[in-house]
Structure 1
Amino acid sequence: MIDRRTLILSAAITGLASSAEAQTPPPSVAGGHIAAGLPEPDETIDLWPKGAPGMPAKPPVETVDERSKDASLTDRAVRGVTRPRLVVFRPRIPNGSAVLVTPGGGYARIVIDKEGYEIARWLSARGFIVFVLFYRLPGDGWAAGPDVALADAQRAMRIIRHRARDYALQPERIAAMGFSAGGHVCGDLSTRFGSKVYAPVDAADRLSARPDVSAPIYAVQSMTLPIAHSGSRELLVGKDASPALEAAHTPANNVTRETPPTFLVHAEDDPAVPVENSLLYRAALKKAGVPVETHLFTAGGHGFGLRLAMGKPAEAWPDLFLAWARTQGLG
């Protein structure tokens, strides 16, 4: 075990060295506006030191779109990730726990602000070190196909655990949290953390990719219509996927007693990802004897994150997660 004083001093010293290494910067819009009072992150970790494996013959081009019409807010989304990476949010006073965040975007893009940076700032203000993952997208032609985002998530978890001392965290106190299609990445990681989906590249790959707790938020889960989110399903397994392929990429079918304790959130009026996605996952967790806490809200719609939950019953979810995480030894 590492005592708290050692963790804090270690982070202060080694963090300077790690930040000096040349890494791919966070996704950004050239000449784009920055929301006042919201610091932009600048620390990143490239997942693959020699480049991501299985590059398509025609590599995608990373493109960031600003979708906000409000000059006081950013609502960016990135497409065509070729250099998957973690964007790091360090707390002023670390509590020894970390969260790996996988934003959504229907597997067509990755939402930067609403399901990435906003929750990262909220969690880091409460002592968590947060790593926002910009993962490769399955529709871009990578050799790993429907396992490409899982490969990045596994690799990310192993890197975080490998560098635990650098980031003032305990390696057995790392959560995974994902939203919408990023919730599918989270669920996939939580159930298939041991699947061999890439060739090991360094010492980090000898470590477990299993999250210590998991929080899929209004998550895509089933790949079987009509419960599946059709856009995510088509990009992940294909419009004409066989029942066997659908089943293989439905996290509920892959739950075991080794799946980590799980915190589920969904709004019952979700028009995009039916609440049955979370209910089926919960049923599988219960059957396997995995502890699960579930919060279903009457109103919230889809993609509420933090900003769109304000004034709705779903607004309570972050504090509920924080209270639950403490019962699991995080925070």
Structure 2
Amino acid sequence: MKRLVLTALILAMATPASAQMQATPIERPKMAEIPLYSAAAKDVDNEQWEHVSGRFGQVVIENTTVRNVTRPTITPYLPDPAKATGAGVVVAPGGAFMSLSMSSEGEEIARWLADQGIAAFVLKYRLNETPRDWKEYMKALGQRMAQASRNDIGAGLKEARATQDALAALALVRSRAKAFRIDPSRVGMIGFSAGAMTALNATLEGQGDARPAFIGYIYGPMAAVTVPADAPPMFNAIAMDDSLFKNQGFAIADAWRKARRPVELHAYERGDHGFGIGRPGTTSVGLLPQFTAWLRMHGLLGDRAVSSRP
């Protein structure tokens, strides 16, 4: 069964044996991208965009993904100025550091946040090079995930460049706070799967104000980490039937609690891995409303914190 769910981190969906997935090459979508760095001659733009589709059970998968990213960017999704809260969120899609789930864990998340008055910035971070042929790529993904899963399925999935890009994205967004109409002290991250690891590593490796002001840690590995004394608040969400991390308990949330840092944990009964904006028919659809309510509770949306009364 482990091998069957290896595609989860790339497709942002757990995939049973009966699923049939296919990828169709597409042109690079037109987006208002902002480069994180000046382009270097050695960083050849070799991005490969694909529309991934298929079905498992009653769920139809339609997702836009990108591979072989060498030139990282952010794409802003800004709210109507009339309802802007002043908060900003860098959104980090997942994909095992071999791909990015740009629609289900990027654009859909960002548009929802912007509609709530929260400026969102989808981070397209650098990835490991993969074969351009889909079947060869899937084979390489399976080998990488099998190697990582021999001990801890999250252990072999760190990518230093992604962490560097996350910190650079935070710095860029804060440097343009006036143009984006945000408060630089209220810029955080939300990440999904490998994107959650990226947000976490930006928190663990960033120093002081370089860190995100808060993090949404969505279906990332749940193993314990050493939590900095000044770690930002964490919103942690996962499904109890997550195909990748359901056997790890909630150690990372407990580590935050033991470090006396704010943490909120949501463990949905169903949703599996990669539910993105929420798996229809499950309580995971409450993810983004709950995340927003949590931001408001912490006074991060520029209005009064929610009352402690029932």
TM-score w.r.t. structure 2 length? 0.73
Partner of 2:264: 293
Distance 2:210 2:294 in 1: 22
Amino acid at match of 2:102: I
Question: Where in structure 2 are the equivalents of 1:255-274 lying within 5 Å?
Answer: 255-274=227-246
Offset of residue 99 of structure 1 = 0.6
CA contact (8 A) 1:41 1:88 kept: no
Question: Where in structure 2 are the equivalents of 1:175-190 lying within 5 Å?
Answer: 175-190=188-203
Amino acid at match of 1:167: F
For this pair of structures, how many residues does the alignment match? 244
Partner of 2:7: none
Offset of residue 177 of structure 1 = 0.2
CA contact (8 A) 1:84 1:133 kept: yes
Identity, % of aligned positions: 32
Partner of 1:83: 71
CA contact (8 A) 2:220 2:245 kept: yes
Determine which of 169, 193, 204 is the counterpart of 1:191: 204
Partner of 1:216: 217
Partner of 2:288: 318
Offset of residue 272 of structure 1 = 2.1
Runs of 4+ in 1 over 6 A off after TM superposition: none
Distance 2:230 2:51 in 1: 40
Offset of residue 273 of structure 1 = 2.8
CA contact (8 A) 1:158 1:208 kept: no
Partner of 2:46: 61
Amino acid at match of 1:97: A
Partner of 2:136: none
CA contact (8 A) 1:138 1:148 kept: no
Question: Where in structure 2 are the equivalents of 1:197-212 lying within 5 Å?
Answer: 208-212=209-213
CA contact (8 A) 1:84 1:136 kept: yes
Distance 1:43 1:260 in 2: 29
Question: Where in structure 2 are the equivalents of 1:45-124 lying within 5 Å?
Answer: 45-51=34-40, 61-68=46-53, 74-93=62-81, 94-124=84-114
Partner of 2:275: 304
User: Residue 121 of structure 2: SS of its match in structure 1?
Assistant: strand
Question: Where in structure 2 are the equivalents of 1:224-239 lying within 5 Å?
Answer: none
Amino acid at match of 1:63: Q
Change (3 A) 1:189 1:63: same
Amino acid at match of 2:209: S
Partner of 2:165: 152
Offset of residue 310 of structure 1 = 1.8
Offset of residue 220 of structure 1 = 3.1
Distance 1:69 1:167 in 2: 37
- Per-residue deviation, residues 32-52 of structure 1 (Å, max 9, x unmatched): 9xxxxxxx8732210002439
Amino acid at match of 1:280: A
List gaps (5 residues or longer) in structure 1: 1-27, 33-39, 195-206, 223-251
Amino acid at match of 2:200: G
Distance 2:289 2:26 in 1: 32
Amino acid at match of 2:48: T
Partner of 1:238: none
Amino acid at match of 1:44: E
Q: CA RMSD in A?
A: 2.5
Partner of 1:253: 225
CA contact (8 A) 2:45 2:71 kept: no
Partner of 1:173: 186
CA contact (8 A) 2:68 2:128 kept: no
Distance 2:34 2:226 in 1: 29
Distance 1:267 1:73 in 2: 18
